[in-house]
Amino acid sequence: MTLPQPAAPGPDAAGPAAGPAEVGPDAAARRELVLREAVRRRLLDPEDALLAAFVDLDGVAASVAALRGAFPAEADVLHAFAAKANCLVPLLSRLRELGMGCEVASPGELAQALAAGFDPARIVLDSPAKTRRELVRALELGVAVNIDSWQELDRVDDLLRAGTSASRLGVRVNPQIGGGTIGAMSTATPTSKFGIPLADEGNAKRLVEAFRARPWLSWIHVHVGSQGCPLDLLAEGVGRAVAFAERVNAELGRRQVTGIDLGGGLSVNFADDTTAPTYADYVGRLRAHAPELFDGRYRVVTEFGRSLLAKNGFTAAYVEYTKVAGGRSIAITHAGAQVATRTVFMPDAWPLRITAHHSSGAAKESGEPVPQDVAGPCCFAGDLLARARPLPPLEPGDLVALLDTGAYYASTHFQYNSLPEPAVHGFTVDAGGAVHFEPLRRAQPVEELIRPVG
């Protein structure tokens, strides 16, 4: 079972670049340029397009180039985009053209990856709840599978007795090294639901024997967590997975484990336009904690998602009303929990930068900033994007932009109050400053919400 080599970047691929923060002379000016053009073309409209999301395709290409450039050119690495971060098929297709593979965690994401044209051999299936039918399909297609539990391992045993598969098969281990600052994003805690816990009594020895009995088991997968997990925690988890792979190979007297799936999880800086930490920073910590990854003995898979896309997107919405309550100014907008679910329900963990704009898309720069609540349209009191946020005074008809929302957010719609999915537009900016849009998802018509059954 060999890992396919990364495809050469397609015709739309960008050359080496440091990352999305360095696309164009000024990120704020670039966003304003795009907003103005979106208003001019009525992609944002106070009657017909109250809310829309935008993805910077130039920035996406630069981020992919930065990821690939962080690893040694001679390394055998497949960078698989974590589809959960933005599963829109046209965007997945663009990432495929840029040489990415795809990591999926559900039947729906697998279908989207296949629709985007990914070779099954460049798709990785991760999920703690794979059904028998899901496993059968993955094994028939030759999709890589990371087995998450002892019971799933038994299930794969049963399926392989019925026939062979071209899939490369591995086991997800939990190094149990603790969590980061956001508990919900930490997956290597002592009681995490993910993977086989290596530190639990008897598990490491049992897993060595599982590899001994299954020559087709040749990969180790680890994922420590994502937002809020520091670089050294991520790298230490990988280091423990590599150390266990070394133990397996030593005790078996053969190099059975030939690949390490590092997972993803690089945190995103939501404080300003700087990309930090970088992929180069991450690889530097990997060299310190897992130097064996760089001497040619292991093939490697990565599964980054948020860090590739977050800073390459923003969401814009109109202000419908403003009011004052208890001395606090409040702006009621059309962006709320339906497109910013994590920010609304976990505001301390997922704060967003918000910028204020005139109806033309131009930045509001006049007027002393005043503390304002920026609220969404959902019918519950907690539907707030920001509390007492200092902004230029907002008025009905203004626009607000939610920054760093290229991953999750609008692409992971929460259908509260039956609010429809907004349009998502990809964009590029040419050397002459002209903005070019392409549809990534159309706005959902209300009629789709009342389709008859059958």
Using one digit for the tens of pLDDT, what is the confidence trace for 405-416?
Answer: 999 999 999 999
Q: Is 57 exposed, middle or buried (0-12, 13-18, 19+ CB in 10 A)?
A: buried
CB neighbours (10 Å) of residue 362?
Answer: 13
Q: Is 35 left (phi over 0), alpha (psi -120 to 50) or beta?
A: alpha
207 plus 348 within the same structural domain: no
Q: Does the residue 289 lie in any domain?
A: yes
Other CB atoms within 10 A of residue 97 CB: 18
Please report whether residue 21 resides in a domain: no
Residues 149, 259: one domain?
Answer: yes
Same domain, 267 and 388: no
CB of 290 closer than 8 Å to CB of 240: no
377 shares its domain with 298: no
Q: How confident is the model at residue 37 (pLDDT cuts 50, 70, 90)?
A: very high
Residue 70: the pLDDT is 98
Both tokens of 362, joined, read 């131009």
374's tokens: 């920026």
33 pLDDT above the threshold of 50: yes
Position 367 pLDDT exceeds 80: no
* pLDDT tens per residue, range 338-355: 999 999 999 999 999 999
Q: What residue has token string 């040419």?
A: 430
Q: What is the pLDDT of residue 38?
A: 98
pLDDT score for 454: 65
Instruction: Answer yes or no: do 221 and 84 share one domain.
Output: yes
pLDDT at 139 over 50: yes
- What percent of the chain has pLDDT above 90? 92
The rounded mean pLDDT for the chain is 93
CA angle 405, 357, 317 (to 5 degrees): 50
pLDDT of the residue at 396: 98
Q: Which residues pair with 383 in a beta bridge?
A: none
Region 116-127 average pLDDT: 98
Residues 249 and 374 in one domain: no
Tens of pLDDT, residues 170-216: 999 999 999 999 999 999 999 999 999 999 999 999 999 999 999 99
User: Is the pLDDT reported for residue 28 higher than 90?
Assistant: yes
In a domain, residue 343? The reply is yes
- Number of domain units in the chain: 2
Q: Give CA 123 to chain center in angstroms.
A: 15
> What's the pLDDT at 170?
98
pLDDT of residue 453: 72
Residue 13 belongs to some domain of the structure: no
pLDDT of 384: 98
Domain around 259:
63-309
For position 432, which CATH number holds?
2.40.37.10
Instruction: Indicate which CATH number applies to the domain containing 96.
Output: 3.20.20.10
Per the domain annotation, does 2 fall within a domain? no
Secondary structure E strands in 326-453:
328-333, 354-357, 370-375, 384-391, 399-403, 423-429, 435-441
| Nearest to 356, CA basis, from 301, 308, 405, 393 | 393
Output the CA–CA distances (angstroms, integers) from residue 365 to 206, 324, 361, 378, 403, in the order listed: 63, 22, 12, 29, 17
Candidate from 66-70, 187-191, 366-370 with smallest mean pLDDT = 366-370
Q: Which of 265, 291, 309 is the last residue of a domain?
A: 309
Contact by Cβ (8 Å): 143, 110: yes
- Higher per-residue confidence, 50 vs 1: 50
Mind giving me the DSSP string for 9-52?
P-TT---S-S-GGGSSS-HHHHHHHHHHHHHHTTSSBTTTBSEE
Q: Are residues 269 and 142 in the same domain?
A: yes
Chain CA centroid to CA 20, Å: 15
Decide if pLDDT at 3 tops 90. Answer: no
Kindly report, residue by residue over 81-110, the tens digit of the pLDDT. 999 999 999 999 999 999 999 999 999 999
Report the distance separating Cα 370 and Cα 368, nearest Å. Answer: 6
Q: In angstroms, what is the C-alpha Rg of the chain? A: 23
Please tell me whether residues 282 and 322 are part of one structural domain.
Answer: no
What confidence category does residue 452 fall into, taking pLDDT thresholds of 50, 70 and 90?
confident
Query: What residues form DSSP beta bridges with 217?
Result: 169
Same domain, 294 and 341: no
Domain boundary among the residues 309, 329, 362 is at 309
- Tell me the torsion sign for CA atoms 116, 121, 122, 128: positive
Query: Has residue 11 been placed in a domain?
Result: no
Task: Give a yes or no: residue 9 inside a domain.
Answer: no
Strands (E), 159-216: 169-174, 196-197
Query: Tokens 């395709």 correspond to what residue?
Result: 57
Instruction: Calculate ∠ Cα 317-440-374, nearest 5°.
Output: 15
- Name the nearest CA neighbour of 247 among 301, 204, 288, 295: 204
CA distances from 66 to 98, 180, 231, 405 (A): 12, 25, 17, 19
Backbone angles phi, psi at 436, to 5 degrees: -120, 125
Q: Answer yes or no: is 361 within a domain.
A: yes
Q: Which residues of 336-356 are buried (b: 16+ CB within 10 A; e: fewer)?
A: bbbbbbbbbeebeebebbbbb
pLDDT at 9 over 50: no
**Together in a domain, 344 and 331:** yes
- Output the pLDDT for position 420: 96
Decide if 97 contacts 10 (C-beta within 8 A): yes
- Domain shared by 325 and 389, yes or no: yes
363 SS3 class:
strand
User: In the Cβ-directed half-sphere of 397, how many Cα atoms lie within 13 Å?
Assistant: 3
Residue 118 pLDDT grade (very low, low, confident, very high; cuts 50, 70, 90)? very high
Among 286, 309, 332, the domain boundary falls at 309
Statement to judge: residues 244 and 102 lie in one domain: yes
First to last CA, the chain: 43
pLDDT(149) > 80: yes
Which pLDDT score, from 0 to 100, does residue 284 have? Answer: 98
The residue among 218, 294, 213 whose CA lies nearest residue 249 is 218
